[in-house]
C-alpha cells in the first residue's frame, strides 16, 4: 500500500469527506520526452557516409564522403542554437550555410566519423591505401593536421566518441567480422587498439556488418555501442541490431541482439547510431536510430527510432520497440548529436533538430475554475479481462472534463495521442489538498459529447479522455518478428528477465525496488520461450506468468512482480474506522489436485503434484494439469504444480466490498475486513481488482474492491 500522510489517511476515514482528484499530462513515452523534429535544411548532396559533432563553443561540424574519394567538411556557427525567440532581423551572415562544403581529402574510401570536445575536432576516415587516417584540429577547426591513425585494413564503417571531458577520443572501426576500439590520447597522439572478433571460436559469428554508432556514458564510464550485422546461426542466418559497450578497461561487453530479421525475408537493418546527451535530464535517455531496408515488393528504405527504457542500463538491452518516425529515406542512416537546447539529427542533404527542454505539464483538476474534471473511472486488475471488440483490455482510465467554455475546443497543445497522464487521487484535508499518484496512463482516444439541458440555452458539452495502462500498451504491441529466449546457452534468461525485456518494448521498467516477495521459479526457471510474429504482448505476458505463482502490477512508469504468500500480514482494515458501504462474500470449491508433467534431458517423464488434503478428504477430486517440456527436473515441475494449486486456492473465497476511496490501496495488498452484518470479523483478503468511481454531479467517490483469499 502507498504511504499516506496522517492527515490524508484521517480524511478518507471521516464520515463526511471532500474529494480532490487531478491529473498531469506530459508529452512523454513512459517518462521519456517525445521529440518533435523540424527540418532546417533540405539539400541535394548525395547520400554516403557522414557525421556530425559540436565543439566547446556550440558550433556544428559536419563531414560527408563524396564521389571520386572526396571527403567534405563544413563548420556552422549557430547563433540560433539558443532558445527562441530569435532577434530579428537576422543578418544574412548569421544564417547557416548547410550547402557550403570544403573538400579536405581526395583519398577517402568511404567510411568516416567525427568527434569533438572543447577546441578539439577529430575526423577519422578510411584512406584509399586501406589504412585509417586522422584529420584533426585543436583550435575549433581553424588549423588542421593530417596523419595516419593506425594501419588497420578492410574497415567498412566508423564511429567516434569523446571519452568524457579528457584528452581521449575513441574511434570504433568495424570490419565484416571484427570490431576495433582505437583509443587515441590527443595530448600525446599515442594509440592503443582493442579488437573484438566475431569469427573462429567467437560466440557470435558475423558474415557481414552494416554500420556502427557510439556515444559516451559518464555513469559507468563507458562508450555505448550499437552495430548492425548479419549473423551465422542455426536454423537460419539473420540480420540484427546488436548492442555492446566499451568499458573503461577497454573491453567489449558481450553482444546482445535487440532487433532481428531472418535471412530470406528481404529485410535488413543498417547504419545505426546512438546518442546520450552529456548532461541528460530525468526525461532523457540514450536514443537509437537505424535504417530498415526491404528489397521485396514494394521496396523501401526508412529510418527507425527507439530509446533505452527510463531507469534501466545499456547492458540490460531494454530498448523500446524500434519504429518508423520520419518520412525520409537514407541508405547510410542518420547521425545524432545534442547541444544544451536541442537534439540534432543529420544526413548529407538534411539537418533536423528537436527541442530538448520538456514543456510544463497540462494540469487537470476537480477544482479548476473551468475545464474541471467532472467524473472519472479507473479500473485496475491482476491479469485483466480482454475486451478486444471494445478496443482493448479492461484496465483503463476514463476522464470526463467540462467543456462548457470550449477549453478543449480545439484540442490543447498539451494533449496528443499517447500523451502520458499521471492520475492523482486525494482529499481535502486539514493540511490542504492532498493527493497521491494513482497510476500512469496513456491517451488512446478522446471524444466530445453534447446534450440539450432543460432550461439552459447553451446545453452541455463534455470532453472525454480514454486512456490505457501498462496492460493496454502491451495489448497494443505485437511482435514484429519471432522473439526467442533460451534457445541455447547464449545469454540465458529466467522468467523475470524475459518479462523485463518484454515490458521494455513499450517503455515499462520492471523493478524489484523496494523488494517484493518472489518465487523460486521466477528467478530459476529458464524456459525456451517463443513469441511469434503478430502475437500480442499481453498474451505473451500471461503465458509467461502462467509458469509461476507471481503476479504483475503496474505502478507509474514501472511494474513489479509479487509472489502472494499466504503468510503476508495485513496492511489496512475495512469495516472498523474505514466504512464498508456494501459487501458480498462467497466461498466455493476449487481445484484439489494440481499436476505438472515434464521431461528430463534423457527424455524420462517427470510428474509432480500439489494436493489440497482438506478437499480430497471430502472426496472432491478436481484435477488440473500442465505439460511443459521446459520442466526438465523435479524441482521445476514441483514449483509449477504448487503455482497452479496456489492460484486456484486464492480464487476459493471471492469477495467484493464498496468503500469510500482509499487513495493508498494497491493491487495484491492484504487487507482485513470486518462486516458484522455478514458475520465477517478481521478476515484477511487480498486485493485483486480496484474500480474507482468519481462523479461530482452525483457526489460519488467510491472504490469497488475485488478480493480473494490471501
376-418 pLDDT per residue, tens: 999 999 877 654 444 444 558 999 999 999 999 999 988 999 9
Q: In whole angstroms, give the CA distance from residue 332 to residue 342.
A: 23
**At 84, is the pLDDT very low, low, confident or very high (cuts 50, 70, 90)?**
very low
> Is 176 within the bounds of a domain?
yes
pLDDT of residue 414: 85
CATH of the domain at 242: 2.120.10.10
Crossing angle for the helix pair 495-504 and 537-545, nearest 10 degrees?
A: 170
Higher pLDDT, 537 or 81: 537
**Cα dihedral sign, 522-526-527-530:** positive
Average pLDDT score, the chain: 93
Domain closes at, from 355, 385, 417: 355
How many residues does the structure list for the chain?
710
Cα torsion 135, 140, 144, 145: sign: negative
pLDDT of residue 453: 67
367 domain-assigned: no
Query: Phi/psi of residue 524, each to 5°?
Result: -125, 0
591 in a domain, yes or no? no
Rounded distance, CA 443 to CA 472, Å?
11
End of a domain among 562, 591, 622? Answer: 562
CA 258 – CA 304 distance, rounded (Å): 13
Q: How far is CA 144 from the centre of its chain?
A: 43
Q: Which residue among 305, 320, 355 closes a domain?
A: 355
In a domain, 110, yes or no: yes
Residue 93 has pLDDT above 50, yes or no: no
**In this structure, is residue 206 part of a structural domain?**
yes
Question: Which of the residue ranges 205-209, 257-261, 645-649 would you say has the lowest mean pLDDT?
Answer: 645-649
pLDDT at 347: 97
Please check whether residues 345 and 485 belong to one and the same domain: no
Pairing of strands 670-675, 572-574: parallel
Whether 82 shows a pLDDT value over 60: the answer reads no
Place of cell 538491452: 317
Report helix, strand and coil shares of the chain as percent, to nearest 5: 10, 45, 45
| pLDDT > 70? residue 90 | no
Cell 568495424 belongs to residue: 174
Can you give the residue range of the structural domain that contains 91? 32-355
pLDDT-derived band at 458, boundaries 50, 70, 90: low
Q: Which pLDDT band holds residue 356 (cuts at 50, 70, 90)?
A: very high
Indicate which CATH number applies to the domain containing 520: 3.55.50
Mean pLDDT value of segment 466-489: 93
Residue 145 grid cell: 593536421
The confidence score (pLDDT) of residue 169 equals 98
Same domain? For 219 and 84 the reply is yes
351: CB partners within 8 A, 6+ apart: 39, 40, 41, 96, 98, 344, 345
Checking if the pLDDT of 308 tops 80, the result is yes
Mean pLDDT (whole number) for 31-35? 97
Position 680 in a domain: no
Q: Is the dihedral of CA 659, 660, 666, 669 positive or negative?
A: negative
DSSP string, 83-138: PSPPPSSPPGGGS--TT--EEEES-EEEEEEEEEETTEEEEEEEETTS-EEEEEES
Kindly state whether residue 413 falls inside one of the protein's structural domains: no
Q: Is residue 283 in some structural domain? A: yes
Banded model confidence at residue 649, pLDDT cuts 50, 70, 90: confident
pLDDT tens figures, 431-448? 999 999 999 999 999 999
The mean pLDDT of 186-206, rounded to a whole number, is: 95
If one counts the domains in the chain, the total is: 2
Same domain, 45 and 177: yes
Backbone dihedral region for residue 371 (phi beyond 0: left; psi -120 to 50: alpha; all else: beta): left
The x, y and z cell numbers of residue 675, run together, are 462486516
Amino acid at each position: 500500500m502507498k504511504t499516506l500522510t496522517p492527515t490524508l489517511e484521517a480524511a478518507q476515514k471521516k464520515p463526511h469527506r471532500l474529494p480532490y482528484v487531478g491529473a498531469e499530462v506530459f508529452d512523454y513515452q513512459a517518462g521519456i520526452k517525445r521529440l518533435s523534429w523540424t527540418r532546417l535544411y533540405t539539400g541535394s548532396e548525395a547520400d554516403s557516409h557522414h557525421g556530425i559533432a559540436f565543439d566547446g563553443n556550440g558550433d556544428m561540424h559536419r563531414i560527408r564522403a563524396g564521389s571520386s574519394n572526396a571527403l567534405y567538411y563544413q563548420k556552422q556557427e549557430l547563433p540560433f542554437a539558443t532558445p527562441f525567440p530569435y532577434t530579428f532581423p537576422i543578418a544574412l551572415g548569421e544564417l547557416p550555410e548547410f550547402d557550403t562544403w570544403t573538400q579536405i581529402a581526395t583519398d577517402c574510401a568511404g567510411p568516416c566519423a567525427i568527434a569533438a570536445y572543447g577546441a578539439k575536432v577529430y575526423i577519422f576516415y578510411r584512406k584509399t591505401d586501406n589504412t585509417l587516417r586522422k584529420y584533426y584540429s585543436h583550435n575549433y577547426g581553424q588549423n588542421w593536421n593530417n596523419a595516419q591513425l593506425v594501419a588497420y585494413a578492410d574497415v567498412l564503417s566508423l564511429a567516434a566518441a569523446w571519452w568524457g571531458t579528457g584528452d581521449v577520443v575513441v574511434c570504433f572501426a568495424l570490419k565484416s567480422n571484427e570490431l576495433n576500439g582505437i583509443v587515441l590520447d590527443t595530448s600525446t597522439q599515442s594509440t592503443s587498439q582493442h579488437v573484438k572478433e566475431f569469427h573462429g571460436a567467437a560466440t557470435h559469428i558475423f558474415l557481414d556488418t552494416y554500420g556502427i554508432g557510439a556515444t559516451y556514458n559518464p555513469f559507468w564510464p563507458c562508450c555505448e555501442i550499437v552495430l548492425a550485422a548479419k549473423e551465422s546461426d542455426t536454423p537460419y542466418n539473420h540480420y540484427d541490431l546488436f548492442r555492446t559497450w566499451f568499458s573503461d578497461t577497454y573491453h567489449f561487453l558481450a553482444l546482445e541482439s535487440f532487433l532481428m530479421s531472418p535471412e530470406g525475408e528481404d529485410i535488413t537493418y543498417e547504419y545505426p547510431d546512438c546518442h546520450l546527451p552529456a548532461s541528460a535530464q530525468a526525461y532523457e535517455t540514450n536514443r537509437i536510430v537505424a535504417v530498415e531496408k526491404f528489397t521485396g515488393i514494394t521496396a523501401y528504405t526508412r529510418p527507425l527510432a527507439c530509446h533505452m527504457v527510463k531507469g534501466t542500463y545499456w547492458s540490460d538491452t531494454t530498448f523500446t520497440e524500434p519504429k518508423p518516425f520520419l518520412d525520409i529515406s537514407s541508405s547510410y542512416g542518420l547521425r545524432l548529436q545534442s547541444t544544451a537546447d536541442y537534439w540534432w539529427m543529420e544526413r548529407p542533404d538534411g539537418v533536423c533538430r528537436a527541442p530538448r527542454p520538456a514543456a510544463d505539464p497540462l494540469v487537470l483538476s476537480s477544482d479548476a475554475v473551468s475545464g474541471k474534471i467532472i467524473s472519472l473511472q479507473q479500473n485496475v486488475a491482476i491479469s485483466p479481462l480482454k475486451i478486444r471488440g471494445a478496443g482493448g483490455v479492461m484496465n483503463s482510465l476514463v476522464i470526463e472534463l467540462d467543456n462548457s467554455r470550449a477549453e478543449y475546443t480545439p484540442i490543447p497543445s498539451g494533449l496528443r495521442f499517447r500523451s502520458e497522464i499521471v492520475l492523482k487521487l486525494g482529499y481535502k484535508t486539514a493540511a490542504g489538498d492532498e493527493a497521491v499518484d494513482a497510476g500512469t496512463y496513456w491517451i488512446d482516444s478522446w471524444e466530445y459529447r453534447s446534450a440539450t439541458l432543460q432550461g439552459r440555452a447553451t446545453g452541455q458539452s463534455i470532453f472525454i479522455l480514454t486512456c490505457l495502462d501498462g496492460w493496454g500498451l502491451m495489448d497494443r504491441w505485437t511482435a514484429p518478428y519471432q522473439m526467442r529466449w533460451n534457445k541455447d546457452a547464449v545469454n540465458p534468461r529466467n522468467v523475470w528477465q524475459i518479462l523485463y525485456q518484454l515490458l521494455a518494448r513499450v517503455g515499462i521498467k520492471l523493478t524489484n525496488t523496494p523488494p517484493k516477495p518472489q518465487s523460486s521459479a521466477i528467478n530459476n526457471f529458464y524456459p525456451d520461450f517463443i513469441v511469434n510474429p503478430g502475437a500480442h504482448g499481453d498474451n505473451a505476458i500471461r503465458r509467461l506468468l502462467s509458469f509461476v505463482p507471481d503476479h504483475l502490477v503496474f505502478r507509474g512508469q514501472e511494474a513489479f512482480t509479487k509472489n502472494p504468500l499466504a503468510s503476508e500480514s495485513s496492511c489496512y482494515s475495512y469495516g472498523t474506522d474505514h466504512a464498508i458501504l456494501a459487501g458480498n462474500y462467497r466461498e466455493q470449491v476449487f481445484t484439489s489436485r494440481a499436476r505438472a508433467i515434464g521431461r528430463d534431458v534423457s527424455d524420462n517423464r517427470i510428474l509432480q503434484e500439489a494436493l489440497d488434503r482438506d478437499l480430497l478428504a471430502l472426496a472432491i477430486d478436481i484435477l488440473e494439469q500442465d505439460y511443459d517440456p521446459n520442466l526438465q527436473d523435479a524441482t521445476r515441475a514441483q514449483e509449477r504444480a504448487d503455482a497452479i494449486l496456489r492460484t486456484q486456492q486464492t480464487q476459493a473465497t471471492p469477495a467484493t466490498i464498496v468503500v469510500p476511496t482509499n487513495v493508498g490501496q494497491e493491487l495484491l495488498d492484504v487487507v482485513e475486513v470486518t462486516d458484522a452484518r455478514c458475520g465477517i470479523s478481521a478476515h484477511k483478503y487480498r486485493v485483486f481488482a480496484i474500480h474507482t468511481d468519481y462523479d461530482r454531479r452525483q457526489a460519488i467517490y467510491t472504490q469497488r474492491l475485488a478480493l480473494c483469499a490471501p
